[in-house]
Structure 1
Amino acid sequence: MAKHKHEEHENHERWLVSYADFITLLFAFFVVMYSVSSVNEGKYRTVSDSIKAALNPISTPPASSMAFTLGQQRPTLMTQNLPGNKEVAIRKMRELVKNMKANSQFDFMHLQEKLNGDIVITIPDQVLFNSGEAAVRPEALPFLQGLSQAMIELNRQVRVEGHTDNVPIHTALFPSNWELSATRAVIVVRVLSELYSVPAEHLAALGYADSRPLTENLTLEQRAKNRRVEVVILEHAPVRPEQQDNAVADDATGSSETPQISAAPAPPSTR
């Protein structure tokens, strides 16, 4: 009797192997895409947070991106222990102002030494910024770099003041001239500190809007003079609030003590 041959069982589920390989490759593809997108998002958030910090409390994205990234690769301060040679540092700043003045053709850009020892550098706004913006122009960076080196040599307190004319501004970034002047001063301070290593504890930023004009705001030339940034290098460090509090406390302590009263000698008796 002939033996029946067993028919080979055909595997109808072999497609699952190819399907599983396809799903694995697809999963790997999406993992790679997600990782790449995460890196780009991180870089974007870094730049975004840096700009938002400068424009705080304004949360609207800036109209123009900055030509450099602040706070990422701060250079090492190489001249920490330089002697404060005032004459050499002032000569360097005068040369910087003279060269920048010749290139920008602004006659009212100047350096002034006051009687109290303060040094005031008046910089027209067009030297540092485009109209209505607070991003430092790339052409101004060499000037600020040279200025920062002289500041480090002087080792003094520096106050950066932003000023505008009386023409109102009302944009998403700058609702008024107060925001514009203050933001410009902050950006200059951050450039000096984060790009060129001027000690942050030596710097302060103030925005005055149009409250302290140099001249009237009747003509284009007069308004151009009032739109400026003034870098004030102080001869004497300002008194900090805690020092004032200590001085007041010392005065109060001294006044609360019982005064020593000496009695006058009695006149001699005539009897």
Structure 2
Amino acid sequence: MADGPVIIRRKRVFAAEGHHGGAWKVAYADFVTAMMAFFMLMWLLNATTEEQRKGLADFFDPSIPISAVSGGGTDLLQGDSVFSSDTLASDNHGGLGETMEFEGELFQALSLSLKEAVESETVRLTRSSEGIVIDLLDTSEEPVFPVGKAVTTRRLDEVISRVAPMLATSDRMIKIVGHTDALRFADGDYSNWELSADRANAARRLAIKKGVPERAFYEVAGQADRLPISDDVAAPQNRRISIILLNPESIPLNAH
């Protein structure tokens, strides 16, 4: 064999570059999430009404009682979406935004007037789908009515006296509902149905005496023991009077 050129082949070995790690990805994801939250906050501030923002603030305020029993919507905006003031058309009762703004002022005025009673848990002030609800709760020490009777007491007189000026000037129609505990009467001719209705009417008559126009009342009813707010059917707070300042949207046009 003839001698030829010697060919030497060399293999190139490429060393893999070191791994950079994924910490930057986590940091970037956190940054994007924070920016999304910021823009969502800016959008919500622009899209919600003052009343809806107040509802959000009240939800996280432990000093303001919010009850699912007498409440309407279960979300932070009391049943309204952030689009409510835009998507719900104005009707003969006035624009929704105007109604909600006025309701916020009225709610604040009632809160200030009943501050001590609310803090002592003898009065509960809430919002519902019907309107603003003032619950006068019985206590063992000082009941709203004597047990088994529809005779007004000093405590009922005091609370009605505090709220009567606002009830008279709010231009809201009023609904009064009486509630009892589940204890039965020995006399079968008189029941919790009659008692709760008689107490609601007694509260209405007292409110009229304190200056609330009779035409302001839309409904007076007795619910007996059908809507307890305590699991204990004999609990005193189940015996209560509910005064509801009705939203105009919840009243038929021909009722005005």
Q: What is the TM-score with the length of structure 2 in the denominator?
A: 0.51
* SS of equivalent residue, structure 2 residue 135: strand
After TM superposition, give the deviation of residue 187 of structure 1 in Å: 0.3
Contact 1:163 1:226 in 2 (8 A): yes
After TM superposition, give the deviation of residue 101 of structure 1 in Å: 4.0
> What CA deviation, in whole Å up to 9, does each residue of 1:135-155 have, x standing for no partner?
111233232012111112211
Asked if residue 100 in structure 1 is aligned to residue 102 in structure 2, the reply is: no
1:112 corresponding residue in structure 2: 126
Amino acid at match of 1:234: L
Identity %: 23
After TM superposition, give the deviation of residue 133 of structure 1 in Å: 1.8
* SS of equivalent residue, structure 2 residue 177: strand
Where do 5+ consecutive residues of structure 1 fail to align? 1-83, 245-271
Superposed structure 1 runs of 4+ greater than 4 Å apart:
84-88
* SS of equivalent residue, structure 1 residue 95: helix
Where do 5+ consecutive residues of structure 2 fail to align? 1-100
* SS of equivalent residue, structure 1 residue 155: coil
Q: Aligned partners of 2:211, 2:161: CA distance in 1, in Å?
A: 9
Amino acid at match of 1:92: A
After TM superposition, give the deviation of residue 87 of structure 1 in Å: 4.4
Contact 1:97 1:110 in 2 (8 A): no
User: CA distance change for structure 1 residues 167 and 235 in 2, over 3 Å: closer, same or farther?
Assistant: same
1:153 corresponding residue in structure 2: 169
Return the structure number with greater relative CO, CA threshold 8 A, min gap 6.
1
Contact 1:111 1:119 in 2 (8 A): yes
> What CA deviation, in whole Å up to 9, does each residue of 1:102-153 have, x standing for no partner?
5xx4x36310123x47101111134421222211112332320121111122
* SS of equivalent residue, structure 1 residue 133: coil
Contact 2:122 2:138 in 1 (8 A): no
Contact 1:96 1:143 in 2 (8 A): no
Asked if residue 191 in structure 1 is aligned to residue 203 in structure 2, the reply is: no
2:87 corresponding residue in structure 1: none
After TM superposition, give the deviation of residue 158 of structure 1 in Å: 0.7
Amino acid at match of 1:226: N
- Please give the residue correspondences for 1:167-178 in structure 2 after superposition, counting only pairs within 5 Å: 167-171=183-187, 175-178=190-193
Contact 1:85 1:153 in 2 (8 A): no
After TM superposition, give the deviation of residue 180 of structure 1 in Å: 0.8
**Normalized per residue, which structure has more helix?**
1
After TM superposition, give the deviation of residue 217 of structure 1 in Å: 3.2
User: CA distance change for structure 1 residues 230 and 139 in 2, over 3 Å: closer, same or farther?
Assistant: closer
Amino acid at match of 1:109: V
User: CA distance change for structure 1 residues 202 and 130 in 2, over 3 Å: closer, same or farther?
Assistant: same
Q: Aligned partners of 2:151, 2:247: CA distance in 1, in Å?
A: 29
1:121 corresponding residue in structure 2: 134
Q: Aligned partners of 1:183, 1:239: CA distance in 2, in Å?
A: 25
User: CA distance change for structure 1 residues 238 and 171 in 2, over 3 Å: closer, same or farther?
Assistant: same
After TM superposition, give the deviation of residue 97 of structure 1 in Å: 2.7
CA-atom RMSD in angstroms: 2.7
User: CA distance change for structure 1 residues 108 and 169 in 2, over 3 Å: closer, same or farther?
Assistant: same
User: CA distance change for structure 1 residues 133 and 117 in 2, over 3 Å: closer, same or farther?
Assistant: closer
Amino acid at match of 1:94: S
